Structure 1
Amino acid sequence: MTKYILYLFFSLFSFSVFGNSEFSVSDSTQLKHSVYFVGDIGEGPLVKANMEMLRGQLLESGTKGTLVVLGNTISKEYLCRDREDDEFESKDLNDFLDLVKDFKGKVVFTPGDQEWTLNKKNGWESLMDFENYVEDYLNKGDVFLPSGGCPGPIEIDLSDDIVLLVIDSQWWLHLGEKPEAECGFENTADFLIQLSDAFKRNENKKLILASHHPLYSGGNHAGHFSFPGPVELYRKLLGTSQDFASPYYKQMRYMAKQLLGKSTRLISVAAHDNSLQFKQIGDSYQVVSGSASLATYVNEKKMDFALREVGFSKLNFYDDGRVFLEFWTVGKEGETAPHLAFTKYLYKYVPLSDDEILKRDQAIDFSDSTIRIAASQIYNTTSQFKLNYLGHNYREEWATPIQVPVFDIGKEKGGLKILKRGGGQQTRSLRLEAKDGHQYVLRSVEKYTEKAIPQSLKKTLAAHIVQDGISESYPYAALAVPKMAEAAGVYHTQPKIVYVPDDTRLGIYQDGFKNELFLFEERASGDWSDSRLFGGTKEILSTDKLLKKRYKNSNIVVDEDAVLRARLFDIFLNDWDRHDDQWRWASFEEDGKTIVRPIPRDRDQVFFYTDGKLPWLMRRKWLIPKFQVFDSIVENVSGLGFNSRYFDRSFLSSKTKAEWEYMANDLKTKLSDEVIEAAVSDLPPEVFAISGDVLISKLKARRDLLPQMATDFYSFLAKGVDVVGTNESELYKANWNEDGSLNVKVYRLSKKHKKEDLIYTRTFYPNETKDVRLFGLKGKNQFKIEGKPSGKGVRLKLIGGKGKDKFNLENTRKSQVSVYDKTKIHINKDAVYRNKTSNSAEVNVYNRKAFKYDIVSPMVNANFVSDDGLILGAGVNYTAHAFKKEPFASKQKLLVNYAFSYPSYQIKYLAEINSVFRNIDFEGRVNYNSPNFQGYYYGMGNDSENIHTEDNKYNRLRFERLSINPQLRFNFNAKHQIKAGVFFDQSRLQRTGNRFVTDYSNPINDLDPEKDFSTRKYLGINIDYIWDSRNSEVLPSRGIYWQSDCQVFRGLGRNDRDFNRVSSDMRLYFSFSPPARTVFAFRVGGAYNSDGYSLVHANRLGLKSNLRGFPLDRFAGDGVFYQNTDIRFRLSQFRTYLLAGEFGLLAFNDIGRVWISGERSESLHHGYGGGLWLSPFKLMIITANYSCSKEDNLFSLEFRYMF
């Protein structure tokens, strides 16, 4: 009887821990596949035992298993320290990689926050280094997914009915540089569309979503701690970017949960928190498996199951459709026996068969059908205003119906299957695959700009203008390209225009792809060796993958002649949209090397043209120069290179001026009149009749001008040239000639560091090139530089890279050579050079996207205050860029304000120059107030009286002031800086009759008629400290701004006494949700002057600065204290045809007081009030406030918050 009781007890125990017995797996059930999840593999006492347990199960699973590593694969302490050669020599990491190496099944690594260096600036670069290290070590192909820092999603078929989706969730949270367009989309909305499509595509399968960050958790990152101290409370309420409380994480969770809530049977597996957790949400599941090395506190009540133990999770899929979850742990320290801590039946699902799916889809035959239809009617207009200001463009071509075939997905190319939706800002596209493996693409002729503009601009006049701008593109231009490309020797597709009907066979894509015109063409992907297209290549690479391979070793050779030919052909066509993703690369094996040649794609902007006044303004050099129009002459050739600015500098660095001229003349010959006429004749006859002859005429004129355009574009690119090596070791040789020209050659080095193949050569001339930059990447590079020019020659910058490099500089001139590397470099003792070495992580990094255009932009300012009346201002902002100067080389701002109520003006000038001395910047300020500039004076002290409350003219004063402040700025990181400088300050009070300042009989007025109205001049020094962690300067919702400064004034005149001033101002902003609906803003500050200061330098309280409810400059004294509180509540977002943005309410409360020597005052002045705020397009702030105090009630209108 006892044994039956024990059997019953263990049965009940099994039910409570391992699930209902009816869901247990019988011996006859065949295990189909197992997926193992392990996250946060760092250093810890139980790592070895956990890995041994994992190793045993992996060996048992073999090819029926998949291992998913969920990020944070190396400890943060190791990852963030400085490393030579990007080696990740961590024993725990390499032991784990050895374990993975022996595994016969699939392996997937996905990154966490530590692979992105914990959100630091160089996170993307570090991630790429780690990806390369892991894949090189394992030699298992592309196992680090998504690759290249992209977010995904990546679909991996684990079996016929099990799909693993992998995303990089840290991409969403990373605040530094990260890829977007390189990944095939422009923003997070595109990513969510791709993820949604992936869910829908696999709705008939068992789906797993793997990422590092969970959406549900009971761990520390979700704000749960065993003891809530100050740090824990901060993480719970405000949080770092890695915590649930962070607005970035909140936004990611909100959007992802909206998407996942529509899914069934989705198992989302993540790590991040160091525990094992499980939770069911509707028909989906969250698994947390982040305790591979360490276990931390988890709140069991927040999840269906949670365990604070080191271990991993496992999903078992069975042939009968059942799915089970398991948690395996190693127990406590010292216990090494594997332990199945938890198992749970999740669901059972048997997918529909292919025959059932075919029966579900309706079979339709559209073969041999045609239709007459226009590309779009929305651009057709008779409005003279629109035609004058937005242009005639190609409106008639868009509105003219053409005869086209109806697209039959079941018959075209023998039948096509849909792979996925394409990315891109404006074009709707579908990727298709034929039975022979060739891929094709459907791309909408109509463009949809809603994704190309910010949310705040949608359904506004601005949105209408952007959409109308599509009429500037020729709808069928791609059809005219093939014959010209063939003659020019440039790879191309064979596009045709088709009509896609409302076809149920499009499945989940049916609603977005129906009843309109599409361009159908070959997609440059995969193996085309059985075709004459793309040179018959067997392999086609994206630009991203090419760069990855090219940096790896010098056996990958870019055919720069082919690149030059293709780019000159682009200029001939006026195709300005040639960014990295607009290219694919055909790969060929030749003489032991891999030669790659460019394949241009997506010819949407060929023949781009507008004659509108607004577009004319927009394409000025100082606005958006890339929008150059297709005309017989080219206004700004360099503007055509804006979108290709990284591409051109990466793949044309070896081409000389003579080669550009030769190639241009060769194209001029090959693009004959007959070729141009035949090509344009391939346009639909209905639109050829409208503009065909004009296009032909312009093409012939541009062909004749092609040599001149080539010379102009070459001159633009030649000003600064990057010569980039590989991750192997290279020898860089450079020597100057007497004429100032510079010969550069790069050789491959053998493993014994012997010179081998020449891989780069070019001679640079000082009348063309200012700077040549030689970039070593990794490896042990050698730089041998000789000679010096007789005059001003080409400057040379040597960037060693991350390896242990050697520099040998013989007979050089300091002004000509700069060396960038770590401080401990191997260089000959007699070398003469500019020493730019540093221990900064950025010093020897190659940033392919460093080039930036200089920018000129306008500035506006406006204010209205009851006391001052209307003040309007305008100015200009000029930003220049240069090598290793981030975020800019120099910036200049000039602003002029004019006050209408008392005619006077104010001039403000700011100059910033970065890195004038290593990490030290220069900042210079000049402010000038004209003689009639207005201020206010009520007497000194905290209890000064305002006896003219109805009319404050009595208290007005006028003064002229000039201040000049050059200073040096020391940047410790992106948030902290110290400024130190000297200043000159000159001011003079005006003697204005019938004013308080000249009423010497008034006992409150203690001004000296002689001394205080004389010209006051001071020379001094200042030191400032600034801490700025705000998420926005215009609309801050989180962060801190703290500025403290000290000034020493030394008088220059007989009436000017010496004095000192110290001040500090701290502001705190926080909100609880993204986007911020309510922002709490707090400010506290104060200042103190020593004895001897002039009236102009008194510390003040008043409206606009620090005490609302009181007039401007209401109180003045030696010292001042103030505290301001704002609650900024967003009522609503709005969108009208003319304007869009946000508006809300503002409530505020201010207190403050001043002190003067000898005064005894207990008064604390109090102001309060409210108002409205408006943020047009979220680019600026307009506030209208009504403030109250016991003394006055005041209205103010400003283009800013007070703080």
Structure 2
Amino acid sequence: MVLIFINSSAQDSQNVKEISHSVYFTANTGLDDCLSSKLILQQINEASQNDQEASVVIVGNITPKGGYPPKKKARKETEEFLKERLMNPLEGFNGNIIYNPGVNEWNKEGHQNIDDMESFLQDNSEAEFWPNDGCPIEGEDLNDDVRLTMVDSQWFLEEWDKHPYINDKCEIKTREQFFIELKDELKDEQGKTIIVSIHHPVMSNTRHGFINKIAGFTEQSYQNPLRKELRDRLETLSRQFEDVIFVSGNDRNMQYIKDNNTPQIISGAMGKLQRSKPEGDKDFASKKPGFAKLNVYKDGSSVVEFYESAASGPQLLHSQYIKRERISEDEVSYHSKEDFESTYKASVYTEEEVNKSYPYKKMWGEHYRDIYGRQIEVPVLFLDTLPGNPIAINEGGGRQSRTLRLLDDNENEFSLREIRKSALRFIQANIQGHYIHDYMENTVAERIVQDFYTTAHPYAPFAVNDIMEDLDLYHANPKLYYVPKQKNIGIYNEDYGDKLYMLEEHVGDHNKEFEDFGNADGILSTSDLLLELRETKNIYVHEPTYIRARLADMLIGDWDRHQDQWRWAEFKENDSVKIYKPIPRDRDQAFSKYDGFMVRLLKFGFPEMRAFQTFESDIADVKWFNKAAYPLDKAFIRDATWPEWKEQVEFIQKNLNDEKIEAAFAALPEDTRDESIENIKKALKARRDNLEDIANRYYEFLVRYDVVTGTEEDDSFIITRKPNGVTQIKVEGGDGSEFRRSYSSSETKEIWVYGLEGEDDFKIEGKGNDLIKLKIVGGKNNDTYNFDNSRKTKTYDYKSKKNSFEKTGSKMLTDNYNINNYDPEKRNNSTNVFFPSIGFDPDAGFKMGVKNTYTTYGLARNPFTAKHSLSLNYFFATDGFSAEYTGEFAHIFPNWNLGLEAKYTSPNYTLNYFGTGNDSFYDEDQVDMDFNRVRIQQVSFTPSLIRENNRGSSFYLKGILESMEVAYNENEFVGQSFDENSELFEQQLYGGAEVYYRYFNQDNPSFPSRGMDFSLTTGYKASIDEHNNKFGYLKPSLGINYPLHSSGIATLATKVGGEMIFGDNYEFYHGATLGGNHSLRAYRNERFNGKAAFFHSTDIRVGLSKIRTNYIPLRFGLSAGYDYGRVWSEEPESDDWHNNYGGSFFINGFNALTANFGYYLGDDGNRFMFSLGFNF
């Protein structure tokens, strides 16, 4: 037993507790120039001698700047540094020594040098280096109570295109996969204290300079967009689980922060120390050199201690008690068996939840709502009455379900899933940047999602296991029970129990010997199977069974078949060959009913909803219905052609007759067998009879595009072009495998061929005709290309590595990671989104229109392959009309997109003109708004080259071709200012070019408290007809958002901008203007027109209150604003500056959308404005 004193501010009194494990943390030993690192590490070493069980974690920057050199000759100095400053001071440490990579370890060669350094450290000490191989995450148990999850944050922040071999040895290939893996890690390790060691902190109170505080130019900046994404996602994930502690070392100080119950420890106080300031009541910050020690106790609580490393010994600066979040078993209550009969009547929803008005039902549909509110009688289950006495060991569940994992005395696992799904889980899964539970609970948004779940029949899926049995498919055996709160649920009684549940065998390796899982040799997840297929030879998916399982999905209407809905039974045929058969699971979406006109309407704007199709005799759209499973179909169905699909259709039709369908549903509880079940049975029989047509339509869609992959070994690809549109692909794998398939252009339009690892050989022979388009991606190492026929073929490979191009055609050599990396989730698809639009502007009046966007996603994306948008708008105040087309095409050159824009406006389309110069006159009491409107017809075409990145920068180079024609009207200002015969009223054609750069970074675009928006536009236009106009122009702009309070509740927003015209030959519609929502907000659009313009706008914005409404969480606020500006021209004019003042009332909904209502007063009068969001 170890006695410690717990600070009374954190704990009521002194406590005697047993320490489970002690962990020391420090970082930045490679940045230390004054040998303080040796002293700190020596003191850690000495302190550990008194610990029962300990570890030390160096959280990054263990090497000097430049990292571990790539060349062996240059490594001697760095290796001596590591021995002297790092390894020798820790020699004899009483426990585990663990190194975590930081910034310095990722030099030019990055992960390759990390791998070499890892070998050096482990060869010369007892230390571990995690994560290894330059991968992003690795978790290890320090003991039964403490889990250490190591994260390489620099991996996430690196520009992957600069590391051609990044992720070579990693299972995780994308940033999104990293978040999925981390979430699984946190979920699987619940019940332990989880220490997430990550170099860059998720929260920090380190003081930064002005530019670093608002701009975030580099990935090391705290406000960098990519780093902010990492912080937001990690904090959101941690709040979904309990007892997660972040420990970091990037900041060169010591801190303790607790925000929303998530503790953050920073211990990097070495080298040139950084100032920090505690913000919360219990926060801590110190600039003194030292280290942190975290004592984790047996009861799950912890104490973190911060020590200054003084010459006389470590001095305690601060200690903080961290309470265990999960309750203990002593704090929960539960029922006994005597409280219940053998059966119990219960419903999924309350009567109040299902009682909807007639208009609501018409809008959102009837669904199966009445069944959710119906009381049904089911058996009562106490877990200790089951064989093996299963107990709850962990929480599980996915995007919607709430599940307990059970373990019995025989080490078999079961899942206890609540029939009622969680709306909050679904919302959280779709809003990944911030935690929503505290804001969305008990709101209309939650209730709408909860009601939407009634589209799925709550009990019909219990008939599916009998259907799967008839179809000879592996399956679990779900049973419906009422499960009271009880002893075997343990600490989970707080959130589980006293509801309807489904109990079934967990589909996992613990239960591999279950007969209904095939008595397999093992059970794998889909991600593990995909990795096996890529890295291991002689691994095969049993295609006939998988096709039958997929046809069963279509048969029962289960569209939600993403990769986590599958497990795979492994069968070893001999010492080298493994066959995998599918085990489908989670049939929640079978037999769904999506009625109500809102669902149909939302499908126009949200393509993801097009998978939602009511269970009927047919599937209206097989493409969208199968969207979730489509990537798996491409990965696992390699050889099968239509005859194999048809064979499985016939198997299903033969083995699932009407009697078996009736028998399957007869097993449901009597209370559930109503008219809805009769309708389902009728539709199921009809769909079974129609299955061949459904399967054929999906097969035709599936083979329209295909993917062929090699292995990690040296492979030979022989592609033969044959007559009649036939293309044969033969792959002789370096592992001894062989793949051969012929494709017809009447079925298949495009094939992607991935070489993956190894030195691969690609050959194309034969002439053929009506050729299929080929995209060949060589992958890593030196590949050889020899194409006798390169028509309709494009090759992609790395620019920075050696390849042999003997004969080839079109190719793109680029180090773009997303192009060269094989991602099973990547698929060739397209979406079409249609949205109506409505808007208001005091000058243009009400605007109504539509916008249609068609986007394609092929192999080369940035971030799409092509996007086409068409907008049509009508302006009621002027009867004007506009049509705009915007197109963008990815990688016209590597990382450069081609943009195309075209615009047409009717002759009634307007802009404003009040005269030229700073003193132009306008009196709204003397003239109406039409007087200063100018009717102008515009036609333009602008091609461009576009380059953007995910770090806030965008750039384009644009060519310009435009036609401008002003209409003459003697009753308007323009007609009285210019002669009727002026060239102004003639059609004028212009040509020109424009260059644009923008850096945009805001912490929250809907209500920014920190950020920068800088843009610079310069260009030149000249007449290309008989007119003689020519001029250049420059438009700079800078907007800054700066917090006046650390919470972000009060913000200073300011923007300066202007325009300069170079040359005297230009028309007023090309002049530099001020006025409107984006400059002088009290003045009409284009109120002032000159040769140069300048403005400065400033707001002080204060969020007055944040409240939880019955609908969504809202923040109300006020802003006070002031603008000033002027124009310069050749006209005689004063030096007056025009100004206005005013303010706005804004409503921010859930940090996602802001409605801003403003009112501003100036010399011309006052003006109301409305905008979605803030204009700066």
> Normalized against structure 2, the TM-score is what?
0.82
Q: Structure 2 matches for 1:708-787, cutoff 5 A?
A: 708-749=693-734, 756-778=735-757, 780-787=758-765
Asked if 1:627 corresponds to 2:612, the answer is yes
SS at match of 1:1131: strand
Tell me what 1:1151 maps to: 1124
1:1104 alignment partner in structure 2: 1077
User: Aligned pair in 2 of structure 1 residues 761, 328: CA closer, same or farther (>3 Å)?
Assistant: farther
Structure 1 partner of 2:881:
905
The answer to whether the 8 A contact 2:55-2:98 is kept is no
> SS state of the match for residue 1022, structure 1?
strand
Q: Distance in 2 between matches of 1:1062 and 1:709?
A: 59
Equivalent in 653, 674, 678 of residue 668 of structure 1: 653
Q: Give the whole-Å Cα distance in 1 for the aligned partners of 2:266 and 2:916.
A: 65
Aligned match of 2:569? 586
Matched residue, 1:815: 792
- 2:514 aligned with 1:531, yes or no? yes
- Distance in 1 between residues matched to 2:482 and 2:805, nearest whole Å: 69
C-alpha distance in 1, partners of 2:323/2:1069?
83
SS at match of 1:485: helix
Supply the distance in 2 between the matched residues of 1:1200 and 1:776 (Cα, whole angstroms): 47
- Please report how far the alpha carbon of residue 1078 of structure 1 lies from its aligned counterpart in structure 2 after TM superposition: 3.7
Residue 832 (1) aligns with residue 808 (2)? yes
Paired residues, what number? 1121
The equivalent of 1:15 in structure 2 is: none
Q: CA deviation at 1:66?
A: 5.0
* Counterparts of 1:588 and 1:307, CA distance in 2: 59
Say whether residues 1:449 and 2:426 are aligned partners.
no
Q: For the residues of structure 1 that align with 2:213 and 2:389, how far apart are their CA atoms?
A: 59
Aligned partners of 2:934 and 2:974 also within 8 Å: no
Indicate conservation of the 8 Å contact 1:540/1:586, yes or no.
Answer: yes
Equivalence for 1:844: 820
Which of 884, 893, 906 aligns to 1:930? It is 906
Partner letter of residue 669 of structure 1?
A: K
Q: 2:1003–2:1009: 8 Å Cα contact kept in structure 1?
A: yes
Q: In the alignment, does 2:973 pair up with 1:961?
A: no
Q: Is the 8 A contact 2:722 2:769 kept in 1?
A: no
Deviation by residue 1:26-69 (Cα, 9 ceiling, x = unmatched): xxx99986656565576878799799979999999999665656
Give yes or no for contact 1:540–1:587 (8 Å, CA) kept in 2: yes
2:589 alignment partner, one of 605, 621, 632: 605
Q: Which position in structure 2 is the counterpart of 1:492? A: 475
Residue of structure 2 equivalent to 1:502: 485
Match of 1:11 in 2: none
Unaligned runs of 5+ in 1: 1-22, 84-88, 333-338, 750-755, 1000-1004
What is aligned with 1:1054? 1026
Instruction: Return the match for 1:871 from 830, 833, 847.
Output: 847
Residue 1162 of structure 1 aligns with an amino acid whose one-letter code is D
Give the 3 Å change call, closer, same or farther, for CA 623–513 of structure 1 in structure 2.
Answer: closer
Indicate the SS of the match to 2:400. coil
The Cα offsets for residues 551-591 of structure 1, whole Å up to 9 and x where unpaired, read as: 33335443333322222211111111111221222233332
- Partner secondary structure for residue 960 of structure 1: strand
Q: Is the 8 A contact 1:415 1:434 kept in 2?
A: yes
Provide closer, same or farther for how the CA distance between residues 928 and 874 of structure 1 changes in structure 2, counting only shifts above 3 A: same
Out of 949, 972, 987, the residue aligned to residue 964 of structure 2 is 987
Q: 1:864 to 1:1042 in 2, by over 3 A?
A: same
> Structure 1 residues 210, 457: CA separation in 2 closer, same or farther (over 3 Å shift)?
closer
**Equivalent in the alignment of 2:861:** 885
When the two chains are superposed, the root-mean-square deviation of aligned CA atoms in Å is 5.4
Indicate the percent of aligned positions where both proteins have the same amino acid. Answer: 24
For the 8 Å contact 1:638–1:716, the answer to whether it is kept is yes
1:10 aligned residue: none
2:1036 is the counterpart of 1:1064:
yes
Give TM-score, length-normalised by structure 1: 0.80
SS in 2 for 1:1029: strand
2:166 maps to none
User: What is the CA distance between 1:815 and its match in structure 2?
Assistant: 2.8
Distance 1:698 1:397 in 2: 19
Moved more, 305-314 or 1032-1041: 305-314
1:1030–1:452 Cα change, 3 Å: same
Alignment of 1:425-504 (within 5 A): 425-453=399-427, 455=436, 462-503=445-486
> 1:1017, 1:32 → 2: CA distance?
80
Distance 2:1162 2:386 in 1: 78
Query: In the aligned structure 1, how far is the partner of 2:656 from the partner of 2:153?
Result: 49
Contact 1:894 1:909 in 2 (8 A): yes
Could you list the per-position Cα deviations for residues 602-632 of structure 1 after superposition, in whole angstroms to 9, with x for gaps in the alignment?
A: 1111111233333344456956211122111
Question: 2:31 and 2:220 mapped to 1: Cα distance?
Answer: 25
1:399 aligns with 2:399: no
3-state SS in 2 of match to 1:471: helix
What is the correspondence of 1:12-91 to structure 2 with a 5 Å cutoff? Answer: 35=23, 37=25, 39=27, 68=57, 70=59
SS of residue paired to 1:819: strand
- What per-residue deviation string (whole Å, max 9, x for no partner) do you get for residues 736-755 of structure 1? 22333222233332xxxxxx
Deviation of the 1:267 alpha carbon: 8.2
CA 1:722–1:677: 2 relative to 1, 3 Å: same
The code of the aligned residue for 1:408 comes to: F
Pair 1:460–1:275, CA change in 2 (3 A): closer
- Structure 2 CA distance for partners of 1:777 and 1:389, relative to 1, 3 Å: same
Asked whether the equivalents of residues 981 and 1023 of structure 1 are also in contact (C-alpha less than 8 Å), the reply is: yes
CA gap of 1:224–1:987, structure 2 versus 1, over 3 A, is: closer
Q: CA deviation at 1:438?
A: 0.8
Change (3 A) 1:959 1:1030: same
Instruction: Give the alignment of 1:335-354 within 5 angstroms.
Output: 341=314
Report the CA distance shift for 1:1153/1:175 in structure 2 as closer, same or farther (over 3 A): farther
Aligned 8 A contact 1:858 1:874 in 2? yes
8 Å Cα contact 1:426/1:449 also seen in 2: yes
Cα distance change of structure 1 residues 710 and 106 upon mapping to structure 2, 3 Å threshold: farther
Range moving further from structure 2, 862-871 or 429-438: 862-871
Once the two structures are superposed, residues 797-829 of structure 1 have per-residue CA deviations (whole angstroms, 9 ceiling, x without a partner) of 22222x322223131224324233225432243
CA 1:759 to 1:1168, structure 2 compared with 1: closer, same or farther past 3 Å? farther
Identify if the C-alpha distance between structure 1 residues 1031 and 669 changes in structure 2 by more than 3 Å, giving closer, same or farther. Answer: farther
Q: Which amino acid aligns with 1:241?
A: Y
Letter of the 1:685 counterpart: E
Quick check: 614-623 or 232-241, which moved more?
Answer: 232-241
Q: In the alignment, is the contact (CA less than 8 A) between 2:284 and 2:318 conserved in 1?
A: no
Give the aligned partner of residue 791 of structure 1: 769
Offset at residue 863 of structure 1 (A):
4.1
Query: Greater CA deviation, 1077-1086 or 491-500?
Result: 1077-1086
1:636 aligned onto 2:621: yes
**Which runs of 5 or more residues in structure 2 are unaligned?**
1-13, 72-76, 160-173
Give the deviation of 1:1147 after TM superposition: 2.3
Measure the CA separation in 2 of the matches of 1:256 and 1:672: 47
Residues 465-492 of structure 1: CA deviation (Å, up to 9, x unaligned):
3322222111113321122212222211
On the 8 A contact 1:380/1:399 being kept in 2, the answer is yes
Q: Is the 8 A contact 1:1116 1:1154 kept in 2?
A: yes
Distance (Å, rounded) in 1 between the aligned partners of 2:332 and 2:987? 94
Match of 1:878, SS state, is: strand
- SS of the residue corresponding to residue 757 of structure 1 reads coil
Following superposition, the deviation at residue 1162 of structure 1 comes to: 1.5
Preserved CA contact (<8 Å) 2:539 2:577: yes
> 1:184·1:581 contact (CA, 8 Å) conserved in 2?
no
SS of residue matched to 1:658: helix
- Which residue in 1 is equivalent to 2:1090? 1117
